[in-house]
Structure 1
Amino acid sequence: MAITKPRNSNYLEECDLVENKDREQYLQQKPESSQKLLTVPRNEKLDEQVTNASNNQVVTEQKSNKIRRLLCLISCVILYLAEGVNVSATGPFFPNEAQKKGVTQTMIGIISAVTMFALWFMSLLLLFLASEKNKKPLFYIGLFTSAATCIIFGELVLIKNTNLFIISCVVTRFLMGIGCACIWSAGAPILIPLFPDKAGKIFGLLEFSVGFGQMIGPPFGSFLFSLGGYRLPFWVAGLLEIAAGVFCVICLSTVGNDDGEKQKDAKTDCSNKLKSSTSIAHGSMRSLNIPPRESQFSKTSLKFISNPGVILITFPVLTIMCEVGFLQVALAPHLLDTYNVDGNSSGNVFLIHAGLSAVTCALFGILVDRGFASCAFVVSTFLTAIAYFILGLPQLIAMGSSDKFSLYFGLALLGITANGGFIPGYFLFEKIAELAKIDSQTKLRIYVVTWMNSCYAIGSILGQVVVGGIFFETFNFYPSCLLLAALSSVSFLIGLVYLIFAGLLKKVYYADESKIVITSSDKCNLDVHNEIES
Structure 2
Amino acid sequence: MESKSNDGDGVPLLPTTPGPGEEVPSQRRRAIAVVLIAVLAFLEGVSMSLPGPFFPPEAKNHGLTQSEIGVVAGSLDVANLCFSFVIGSLISPSNKKAVLLTGTIISSAALSLFGLVDYAQDERIYFVLCILTRILNGIGVSMVFTMMILISSTCFPQKVALMNSFIHTVFGVGMFLGPVFGSILIPVGGYVTPFVSIGLIETVFSFLGMIIIPVFPASKKTANDFKTKEYLMFLVSFPALSVFVPTIVVTLMSGFRDSAYALHYHEVTGLAYQKIGLLFVVNALAATITLSVVGVLTQKGFGPSIMIIAQCLTPLTTFAMFLPYILPEIETKGWAILTLATNGVSVDAAINPSYLLLQKAAIKNGVQNIDQVRKYSSSCFMIILSMGRILGAALIGGYLNELVGFYFTSLIYTSVAMVTVTWHIVFLVRSGLIGKVYFDTDVDNDEPASDNLDALN
TM-score (norm 1): 0.76
- Counterpart of 2:443 in structure 1 is 515
- Counterpart of 1:352 in structure 2 is 282
**In the TM superposition, what whole-angstrom CA distance separates every residue of 1:34-85 from its partner, at most 9, and x where no partner exists?**
xxxxxxxxxxxxxxxxxxxxxxxxxxx9x97111011011000000100111
- Residue 285 of structure 2 is aligned to residue 324 of structure 1: no
For residues 193 and 350 of structure 2, what CA distance do their matches in structure 1 show?
A: 34
**In the TM superposition, what whole-angstrom CA distance separates every residue of 1:456-506 from its partner, at most 9, and x where no partner exists?**
111001111111001111222222222222222111111111112222222
- Counterpart of 2:167 in structure 1 is 206
- Residue 296 of structure 2 is aligned to residue 366 of structure 1: yes
For residues 249 and 186 of structure 2, what CA distance do their matches in structure 1 show?
A: 31
Q: Is the contact made by 1:116 and 1:177 (CA closer than 8 Å) also made in structure 2? A: yes
For residues 205 and 423 of structure 2, what CA distance do their matches in structure 1 show?
A: 40
- Counterpart of 1:102 in structure 2 is 63
- Residue 447 of structure 2 is aligned to residue 500 of structure 1: no
**In the TM superposition, what whole-angstrom CA distance separates every residue of 1:184-207 from its partner, at most 9, and x where no partner exists?**
112111110211111111111111
- Counterpart of 2:32 in structure 1 is 71
Given residue 399 of structure 2, which amino acid in structure 1 is its aligned partner?
Answer: I
What SS class does the counterpart of residue 92 from structure 1 fall into? Answer: helix
CA apart distance, 1:401:
4.7
- Counterpart of 1:445 in structure 2 is 374
CA apart distance, 1:360:
1.4
Given residue 510 of structure 1, which amino acid in structure 2 is its aligned partner?
Answer: F
For residues 316 and 141 of structure 1, what CA distance do their matches in structure 2 show?
A: 32
- Counterpart of 2:407 in structure 1 is 478
For residues 311 and 511 of structure 1, what CA distance do their matches in structure 2 show?
A: 20
- Residue 428 of structure 2 is aligned to residue 467 of structure 1: no
Q: Is the contact made by 1:393 and 1:406 (CA closer than 8 Å) also made in structure 2? A: no
- Residue 450 of structure 2 is aligned to residue 489 of structure 1: no
Q: Is the contact made by 1:300 and 1:439 (CA closer than 8 Å) also made in structure 2? A: no
- Residue 353 of structure 2 is aligned to residue 424 of structure 1: yes
Given residue 212 of structure 2, which amino acid in structure 1 is its aligned partner?
Answer: C
CA apart distance, 1:402:
5.2
- Counterpart of 1:243 in structure 2 is 204
CA apart distance, 1:404:
3.5
CA apart distance, 1:435:
2.4
**In the TM superposition, what whole-angstrom CA distance separates every residue of 1:368-400 from its partner, at most 9, and x where no partner exists?**
1101111011111111111111111112x3241
Given residue 66 of structure 1, which amino acid in structure 2 is its aligned partner?
Answer: Q
* Closer, same or farther: CA 387–227 of 1 in aligned 2, 3 Å: same
- Unaligned stretches of 5+ in structure 1? 1-60, 264-278, 280-284, 287-291, 519-534
For residues 155 and 175 of structure 1, what CA distance do their matches in structure 2 show?
A: 14
* Closer, same or farther: CA 359–244 of 1 in aligned 2, 3 Å: farther
CA apart distance, 1:416:
1.6
Among 32, 43, 64, the alignment partner of 1:82 is 43
Q: Is the contact made by 2:269 and 2:332 (CA closer than 8 Å) also made in structure 1? A: no
Q: Is the contact made by 1:319 and 1:459 (CA closer than 8 Å) also made in structure 2? A: yes
Among 134, 138, 162, the alignment partner of 1:177 is 138
Q: Is the contact made by 2:91 and 2:224 (CA closer than 8 Å) also made in structure 1? A: no
CA apart distance, 1:511:
4.5
- Counterpart of 1:116 in structure 2 is 77
For residues 76 and 305 of structure 1, what CA distance do their matches in structure 2 show?
A: 28
- Unaligned stretches of 5+ in structure 2? 1-15, 17-23, 447-457
- Residue 73 of structure 2 is aligned to residue 140 of structure 1: no
Worse overlay, 162-171 or 502-511: 502-511
Q: Is the contact made by 1:89 and 1:222 (CA closer than 8 Å) also made in structure 2? A: no
- Residue 194 of structure 2 is aligned to residue 233 of structure 1: yes
- Counterpart of 2:7 in structure 1 is none
What SS class does the counterpart of residue 459 from structure 1 fall into? Answer: helix
- Residue 239 of structure 2 is aligned to residue 309 of structure 1: yes
CA apart distance, 1:341:
1.4
- Counterpart of 1:385 in structure 2 is 315
For residues 306 and 134 of structure 1, what CA distance do their matches in structure 2 show?
A: 29
* Closer, same or farther: CA 403–483 of 1 in aligned 2, 3 Å: farther
Given residue 113 of structure 1, which amino acid in structure 2 is its aligned partner?
Answer: G
TM-score (norm 2): 0.89
Given residue 515 of structure 1, which amino acid in structure 2 is its aligned partner?
Answer: V
* Closer, same or farther: CA 399–157 of 1 in aligned 2, 3 Å: closer
- Counterpart of 1:456 in structure 2 is 385
What SS class does the counterpart of residue 274 from structure 2 fall into? Answer: coil
- Counterpart of 1:6 in structure 2 is none
For residues 347 and 296 of structure 1, what CA distance do their matches in structure 2 show?
A: 41
Worse overlay, 334-343 or 143-152: 334-343
What SS class does the counterpart of residue 510 from structure 1 fall into? Answer: coil
For residues 89 and 517 of structure 1, what CA distance do their matches in structure 2 show?
A: 43
Q: Is the contact made by 2:304 and 2:353 (CA closer than 8 Å) also made in structure 1? A: yes
CA apart distance, 1:126:
1.6
**In the TM superposition, what whole-angstrom CA distance separates every residue of 1:138-172 from its partner, at most 9, and x where no partner exists?**
21211100001111111111111111111111111
**Percent identity for Structure 1 against Structure 2:** 26
**In the TM superposition, what whole-angstrom CA distance separates every residue of 1:402-423 from its partner, at most 9, and x where no partner exists?**
5443322111111122221110
What SS class does the counterpart of residue 103 from structure 1 fall into? Answer: coil
- Counterpart of 1:10 in structure 2 is none
- Residue 341 of structure 2 is aligned to residue 412 of structure 1: yes
Given residue 460 of structure 1, which amino acid in structure 2 is its aligned partner?
Answer: R
CA apart distance, 1:222:
1.6
* Closer, same or farther: CA 433–151 of 1 in aligned 2, 3 Å: same
Q: Is the contact made by 1:127 and 1:451 (CA closer than 8 Å) also made in structure 2? A: no
- The alignment yields a C-alpha RMSD, in angstroms, of 2.1
CA apart distance, 1:248:
2.4
For residues 212 and 224 of structure 2, what CA distance do their matches in structure 1 show?
A: 30
